Amino acid sequence: MSTPVTTASPSASAPSGASSKGAPRLRTPRKKHTPGRPKRSVLLTVLTGLIMLYAVVPLVWLVINATKSESGLNNSNGLWFAHHFDLWQNLHDTFTYHDGIFGRWLLNTLLYVVLGAGGATLLSILGGYALAKFNFPGKRAVFAVVIGAVAVPGTALAVPTFLMFSKIGLTDTPWAVIIPSLVSPFGLYLMWVFATEAIPVELLEAARIDGAGELRTFFQVSLPLLAPGVVTVLLFTTVATWNNYFLPLIMIKNPDWYPLTLGLDAWKNQAQTIGGDVIFNLVITGSLLTIVPLIAAFLLLQKYWQSGLAAGSVKE
């Protein structure tokens, strides 16, 4: 008789410790290397570098040429310094030219920013908080109006605004620039969205149960939580008001009420005119002085902006 031969499996014949070592292990499949991935990363790096150069080179050109006199602008490379460093003389000439009109333009711009951008930020905070935390009839209609106002460019409303202000006699006055600057549909929408996520409803209910009124709840509970959104809206409205050109152009005719944008444009046109007494180094130095406050504002407020961007990134 033939005896059947049985072959023992490796797991059965080997000890338990050896079987665990000798058994094949399951390996997770490795990600296949795509040949096009390094090329895409290099392309993105190159594009980022080009965008950075596009943003930085004009600023570098402005800083370098603000240190040159009129002859230095004509006799030197635009991206390198001249033999004589004339920045302090240019600053002196800029602030003393035409009885110090540049200082008047700077104060006008600060007035428009404080009243216009500050008022727009305040209205955006109040309106966004109310729309986010209160229910009332017509809320959907308000949402549609806000979204439609965001989509409408400001230049399309400039001529109707001018006609309306001319009827009530406010043209050629500071109010012709301040009042339209108070309306910021984008700021209102941004605060609406931010307040919806940043302020828990349970926190408001707890404050009301403890006996706090609506004003006290807003100022002591809600407003500290809205600080990153407030800073963001304030930066957007400040930049928009500071760089506003078209609205003052059609509203203001008196040079004493010009903002910096309109005043520097008048200097540039005067310098290009044959026989004009304004020289280009004053225009360049004034342009540098115009952007310094905006850069300082972004640097001083960036920590609040970064905290706003990080809000909600950690899920409890």
So where are the chain's domains?
39-85, 94-310
**Which residues make Cβ contacts (< 8 Å) with residue 39, sequence separation at least 6?**
none
Report whether 257 contacts 272 (CB < 8 A).
no
Q: State the pLDDT at residue 249.
A: 93
Report whether 199 contacts 133 (CB < 8 A).
yes
CA distances from 9 to 21, 25, 67, 121, 236 (A): 15, 17, 87, 78, 74
Tokens of residue 279, six digits: 């020289």
DSSP the chain: -PPPP-PPPHHHHS-HHHHHHHSPPP-PPPPPPPTHHHHHHHHHHHHHHHHHHHHHHHHHHHHHHTT--HHHHHHS-TTS--SS--HHHHHHHHHHTTTTHHHHHHHHHHHHIIIIIHHHHHHHHHHHHHHHH---TTHHHHHHHHHHHHHS-HHHHHHHHHHHHHHHT-TTSTHHHHHHHT--HHHHHHHHHHHHHHS-HHHHHHHHHTT--HHHHIIIIIHHHTHHHHHHHHHHHHHHHHT--HHHHHH---GGG--HHHHHHHHHHHHHSTT-S--HHHHHHHHHHHHHHHHHHHHHHHHHHHHHHHTT-S--
Q: Among 307, 282, 313, 295, which residue's Cα sits nearest to residue 100?
A: 282
Q: State the pLDDT at residue 9.
A: 44
Task: Quote the CA–CA distance of 187 and 198 in Å, as a whole number.
Answer: 16
List the chain residues with pLDDT less than 50: 1-20, 312-316
Q: State the pLDDT at residue 7.
A: 43
Task: Quote the CA–CA distance of 228 and 3 in Å, as a whole number.
Answer: 85
Q: Among 289, 234, 272, which residue's Cα sits nearest to residue 120?
A: 234
Report whether 181 contacts 119 (CB < 8 A).
yes
Task: Quote the CA–CA distance of 185 and 68 in Å, as a whole number.
Answer: 42
Q: State the pLDDT at residue 69.
A: 84
pTM: 0.80
Report whether 113 contacts 241 (CB < 8 A).
yes
Q: State the pLDDT at residue 276.
A: 64
Report whether 282 contacts 90 (CB < 8 A).
yes
Residue 58 CB coordination number (10 Å)? 10
Q: State the pLDDT at residue 233.
A: 92
CATH of the structural domain 94-310, one choice from 1.10.3720.10, 1.20.58.1690, 3.30.350.10, 3.40.50.720: 1.10.3720.10
Per-residue pLDDT tens over the stretch 288-305: 999 999 989 888 887 776
**Residue 275 region by backbone torsions, left for phi larger than 0, else alpha for psi between -120 and 50, else beta:** left
